[in-house]
Chain A
Amino acid sequence: MSAPFFKFDYFGTDVSLIIAFLIGIAFGIALEKGGFGRATILAAQFYFTNMRVLKVMFTAIITAMLGLFFLSVIGFLDLSLIYLTPTNVMPNLIGGLVAGVGFVIGGYCPGTSIVAVATGKIDAVVYLIGMFFGIFVFGEMFPSIEEFFNSTAMGSVTLPQFFNIPYGVIVFLVVLMAIGAFTAAEWGEKKMANKSLEKKV
């Protein structure tokens, strides 16, 4: 038995949808448990008063990375069958910026907004309507931005390919980066907490 199961035909499309549903539910629960269903926590990230988003995201990244890396090293997983989103430098930069601004203003990212809707947050419902409106507008104006959308294409690249560094070294560096970020986040949070205490005093 080897993964990815769907690509190796262990089950068909119908079953894959059921599995996707179950994984989606689990993902939603994890987000809610992580506190990502509350806009205040999410927005606080951008004011550096609460670094939870950074910590959770980096934890997710290194957990997934180490898992994928070692599963494929032992031969259980065929990494070459995992879909990689192609990179388009400029569209990714602009799109990331737009999504980031939306994140700060709305207090949610697309996934967390669904979680917040599930727990009955009204602002999240508004956010969701806005999101679908945005999707609609994007779809309608797509022909006029299609050229830009496909520009500066780099194909599906990974860091090890791009820098021509062995995979293991990149894994190690990302782990170090994450630990560094955790430490800095904890330190920053303490400082912020002290500051707000001083203010109150």
Chain B
Amino acid sequence: MKKFFSNLSAEKKLAMFAIALGIIAVFAGDPYGKNSLKINAKELSLISSDEIGKVKVEDLADDIIKSKSDFRLIDLRKSEEYAKYNIPNSENIQVDQLLNSDLQRNEKIILYSDNDIEATQAWFLLKTNNYKGVNIILGGLNNWKENILFPKCDCGENPTIEQKHKHDKLAAVSKYFGGNIQTNSSEENLVKNEMPQLSAPTGIILKKTLGKKKREGC
């Protein structure tokens, strides 16, 4: 066998090398891999915004409090931003890594970024790759901040019972996630909001603001 090879001319060796590579190529897979996909132009133009599964921040907050776990919450932001703050139970996967991640095509996936734009981009990417249950958080993290962490109470000086209930609920939810409720009259308060620390307890800050709230009679 050895002799057979050494007796071959250089061209023949090269030819055999080429054939070997050709045979490997048959089993090597698709060179375009995950970098290209076929998009039906007609289908694309007909996708309406209704088809994008949207999750309201309130519903998401409810699900997290009830510790539902039938979905994967994906944070699309950069890892530094993710490290600073993220919605509980979320995982950090950037858009360019989505298709290489361990996300399954039959999972319920909820995407979020700071706003809807990046999330929609990711939604489209996953959708065109045949992921079935892809959703985005409406308004993204900005909306989460505004309505869950630091919600504003629209009740005035003398709240009705309904308003009071609503306020208590908002306060409880925002407290759960380490935020605090905003009141109409404390405008200087709005500026100072800092994102909740991920590991540090937030109790102390909460107590302060809760006290304030009482004073202001909302």
**Residue pair B26, A66 in contact (C-beta under 8 Å):** no
| Count of chain A residues near B, Cβ 8 A | 23
CB < 8 Å: which of A167, A176, A179, A182 contacts B32?
A167
Interface centre among A78, A167, A169, A182 (most CB of B within 10 A): A167
A172 to B24, CA, bound (A): 8
User: Does B211 count as interface, using CB distance less than 8 angstroms?
Assistant: no
A77 to B28, CA, bound (A): 15
Q: Tell me whether A79 and B32 are in contact in the complex, defined as CB-CB below 8 angstroms, given that A175-B18, A179-B15, A179-B18 are known contacts.
A: yes
Min distance, Cβ B103 to any Cβ of chain A, angstroms: 19
User: Does A24 count as interface, using CB distance less than 8 angstroms?
Assistant: no
A15 partner residues in chain B, CB cutoff 8 A: none
Give residues 62-101 of A contacting B (CB, 8 Å).
Answer: 62, 66, 68-70, 72-73, 75, 78-80
A68 partner residues in chain B, CB cutoff 8 A: 31
A69 partner residues in chain B, CB cutoff 8 A: 25, 28, 31
B19 partner residues in chain A, CB cutoff 8 A: 175-176, 179
A72 partner residues in chain B, CB cutoff 8 A: 31-33
| Residue interface bits A149-189, CB-to-B below 8 A is 1, else 0 | 00000000000000000111101101110110010000000
A73 to B31, CA, bound (A): 5
User: Does B46 count as interface, using CB distance less than 8 angstroms?
Assistant: no
Q: Tell me whether A70 and B32 are in contact in the complex, defined as CB-CB below 8 angstroms, given that A179-B18, A182-B15 are known contacts.
A: no
Residues on B facing A (Cβ under 8 Å): 11, 15, 18-19, 21-23, 25-33, 35-36
Q: A62-B18, A78-B35, A167-B30 are in contact. List 5 more A-B contacts (CB 8 A).
A: A69-B28, A166-B26, A172-B22, A175-B19, A175-B21
Residues on A facing B (Cβ under 8 Å): 62, 66, 68-70, 72-73, 75, 78-80, 166-169, 171-172, 174-176, 178-179, 182
